[in-house]
């Protein structure tokens, strides 16, 4: 069985203009069966889990880990509308400056302590110091204070239309609620232990980095009554254990799925999908219908990419088709071309400025590289060889840069190591880097606030640390604007600036399939892989 839903369909909805056409989730309205004794869901994740703090890192493997063990105050549903999750409800003052949020009663952490407003306050403060969207919210926040055990207030310095959109952010960094004692950890350091508030408990004693991660159902979790819908609704733990079995070799992982040694393969290599599809007991389906944007990220702190002409040269040197055929192979799984920094098919799609990316021009790339003053120094590209999407982008980039005369070294490493090394600000020759490949889901890229890769706030920006006051002015203007037509006009101006500044290269828009065996049911269609509600026979 196969299935693919390709392309965004813009609608109006969220205050930030995020809403898209609703997507019906597989088994969404059915009532999942209760967990069977000893039932285990065995998954091949897309990467190894090494970093356990989803506020410290934006890595999707850590975000997925976060969704298993923590919960959120608000969450995004299948209509891309924000719904209460741990929150019972909220009130907004007449002047729009004070939000009073009340928690559901009876919520507990995995250590048995109650979830309180103080925990929520500390968690939001830490998230707001680290996350790009959170930073924008905190810039207009005067205070976040607990009122009593179950309620707290967010008081703004000026009206801000993205408060709930920020608190209901579905992807990295997700504002998960942790115990205050952990949330008081510096946002520049990882939390020392995992004490969750969600449907599964992290079993640290069985964690084997490079091999196995284990989660057990948390018996005291209190799910909402509504059906599951994206990150919102009732999160029912219908298996006793979830096991992530890290298998870095795609062929070996495929054989494990075919042999029934694992139940679900999160991101199978596209060139191996025909082999998987030949087994009638396996479903292959694109469960994220919104798509993904490939990304080549520059380091702005060190030469040569501290110079915009070097970045423009790199963009002229590459071809989206080369990237997409390398990492996805089959055109069924990617758009022919997408020059929109905020996703094709989304509410803020525009092709303005994208001429530089539309056609590979090696001669112009060489001219720009000379203009940048490039001195032949080594360019270090981080190459996560265990993740096909990232590895393919690294290889294509290296070849393109070599063709225009750059001295390139591919630094082979695994994804988990890369997500730590990209935080290093040292010079490339001292253990740092010049370029790393990655990807972002559409829900992370749909507008200038959610797309933290375009943020250019210097030291507080995402890895690479670009600094461009004009970009930040336009992002602020977008966040404060409530009229969508005016927002679109801002986006056009912003994208013109982005193509001149080049915070990263959008390498294409694609749709990653997932595969699971017939003993697995109720897999949710959503932009993030959620492992609640799933049943295993």
Q: Are residues 314 and 417 in the same domain?
A: yes
CATH for 521: 3.40.190.10
What confidence category does residue 123 fall into, taking pLDDT thresholds of 50, 70 and 90?
A: very high
Domain annotation covers residue 251: no
pLDDT in tens, 296-339: 999 999 999 999 999 999 999 999 999 999 999 999 999 999 99
CA distances to 52, 230, 302, 479 from 75, in Å: 21, 8, 38, 20
Segment 219-234, tens digit of pLDDT: 999 999 999 999 999 9
Average pLDDT estimate for 413-432: 96
- Longest Cα separation, the chain: 67
Per residue in 479-536, pLDDT (tens digit) is: 989 899 999 999 999 999 999 999 999 999 999 999 999 999 999 999 999 999 999 9
196 in the same domain as 60? yes
285 located within any domain: no
Query: What range does the domain containing 174 cover?
Result: 2-26+37-245+513-536
Percent of the chain with pLDDT over 90: 91
Please check the confidence at residue 10 and state whether its pLDDT lies above 80. no
Q: Does residue 33 surpass a pLDDT of 60?
A: no
Q: Which residues contact 463 (CB under 8 A, 6 or more apart)?
A: 297, 422, 423, 436
Which distant-in-sequence residues (6+ apart) come within 8 Å of 455 by Cβ? 132, 461, 462, 466, 471, 472, 475
Q: What is the number of structural domains in the chain?
A: 2
Where is average pLDDT lowest: 34-38, 384-388, 401-405?
34-38
Mean pLDDT of the chain: 93
On whether both 479 and 520 belong to a single domain, the answer is no
Indicate the pairing of strand 212-217 with strand 200-202: antiparallel
Rounded to whole angstroms, how far apart are CA atoms 102 and 111?
22
Does residue 267 fall inside a structural domain? Answer: no
Residues 462, 531, single domain; the answer is: no
pLDDT of residue 37: 57
521 and 500 within one domain: no
Residue 342 sits in a domain of what CATH number? 3.10.105.10
* Whether 429 and 324 share a structural domain: yes
Q: Could you please report the per-residue DSSP string of 400-460?
A: HHHHTT-EEEEEEE-HHHHHHHTT--S-GGGT--SEEEEEEEHHHHSSTTT-GGG--BGGG
Please name which of 335, 348, 232, 349 lies closest in space to residue 291, comparing C-alpha atoms: 335
pLDDT 10s digits, 356-380: 999 899 999 999 999 999 999 999 9
**Chain CA centroid to CA 418, Å:** 16
pTM (2 decimals)?
Answer: 0.89
CA–centroid distance for 371 within its chain = 35
Paired residues of 151 in beta bridges? 102
Average pLDDT of span 256-285: 97
Per-residue model confidence as pLDDT tens digits over 80-115: 999 999 999 999 999 999 999 999 999 999 999 999
């Amino acid at each position: 069985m196969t299935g693919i839903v390709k392309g965004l369909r813009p609608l109006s909805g969220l205050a930030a203009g995020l809403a898209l056409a609703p997507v019906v989730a597989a088994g969404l309205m059915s009532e999942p069966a209760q967990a069977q004794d000893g039932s285990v869901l065995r998954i091949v994740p897309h990467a190894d889990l090494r970093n356990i703090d989803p506020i410290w890192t934006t890595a999707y493997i850590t975000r997925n880990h976060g969704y298993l063990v923590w919960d959120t105050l608000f969450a995004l549903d299948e209509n891309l509308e924000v719904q209460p999750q741990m929150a019972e409800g909220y009130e907004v003052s007449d002047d729009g400056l004070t939000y009073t949020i009340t928690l559901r009663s009876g919520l507990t952490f995995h250590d048995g302590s109650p979830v309180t407003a103080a925990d929520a306050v500390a968690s939001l403060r830490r998230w707001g110091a680290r996350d790009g969207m959170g930073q924008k919210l905190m810039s207009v926040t005067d205070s976040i204070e607990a009122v009593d055990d179950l309620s707290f207030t967010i008081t703004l310095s000026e009206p801000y239309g993205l408060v709930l959109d920020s608190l209901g952010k579905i992807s990295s960094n997700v504002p998960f609620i942790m115990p205050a004692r952990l949330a008081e950890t510096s946002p520049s350091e990882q939390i020392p232990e995992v004490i969750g508030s969600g449907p599964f408990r992290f079993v640290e004693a069985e964690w084997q980095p490079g091999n196995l991660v284990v989660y057990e159902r948390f018996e005291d979790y209190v799910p909402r009554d509504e059906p599951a819908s994206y990150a919102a609704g009732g999160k029912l733990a219908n298996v006793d254990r979830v096991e992530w079995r890290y298998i870095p070799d795609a062929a070996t992982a495929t054989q494990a799925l075919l042999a029934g040694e694992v139940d679900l393969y999160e991101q199978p290599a596209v060139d191996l999908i025909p082999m998987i599809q030949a087994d009638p007991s396996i479903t292959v389906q694109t469960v994220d219908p919104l798509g993904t944007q490939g990304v080549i990220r520059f380091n702005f702190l060190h030469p040569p990419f501290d110079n915009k002409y070097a970045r423009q040269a790199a963009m002229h040197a590459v071809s989206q088709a080369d990237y997409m055929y390398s990492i996805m192979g089959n055109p069924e799984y990617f758009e022919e071309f997408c020059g929109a920094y905020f996703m094709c098919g989304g509410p803020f799609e525009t092709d303005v400025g994208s001429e530089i990316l539309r056609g590979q021009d090696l001669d112009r790339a060489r001219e720009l590289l000379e203009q940048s003053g490039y001195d032949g120094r080594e360019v270090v590209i981080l190459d996560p060889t265990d993740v096909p999407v990232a590895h393919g982008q690294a290889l294509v980039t290296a070849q393109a840069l070599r063709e225009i005369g750059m001295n390139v070294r591919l630094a082979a490493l695994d994804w988990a190591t890369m997500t730590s090394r990209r935080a290093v600000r040292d010079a490339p020759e001292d253990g740092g880097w010049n370029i790393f490949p990655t990807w972002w889901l559409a829900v992370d890229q749909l507008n200038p606030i959610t797309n933290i890769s375009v943020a250019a706030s210097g030291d507080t920006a995402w890895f690479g640390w670009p600094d461009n006051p004009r970009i930040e002015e336009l992002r602020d203007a977008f966040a404060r604007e409530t009229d969508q037509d005016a927002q679109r006009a801002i986006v056009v101006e912003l994208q013109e600036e982005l193509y001149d500044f080049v915070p990263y290269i959008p390498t294409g828009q694609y749709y990653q399939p997932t595969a699971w065996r017939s003993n697995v049911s109720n897999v949710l269609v959503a932009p993030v892989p959620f492992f609640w509600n799933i049943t295993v026979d």
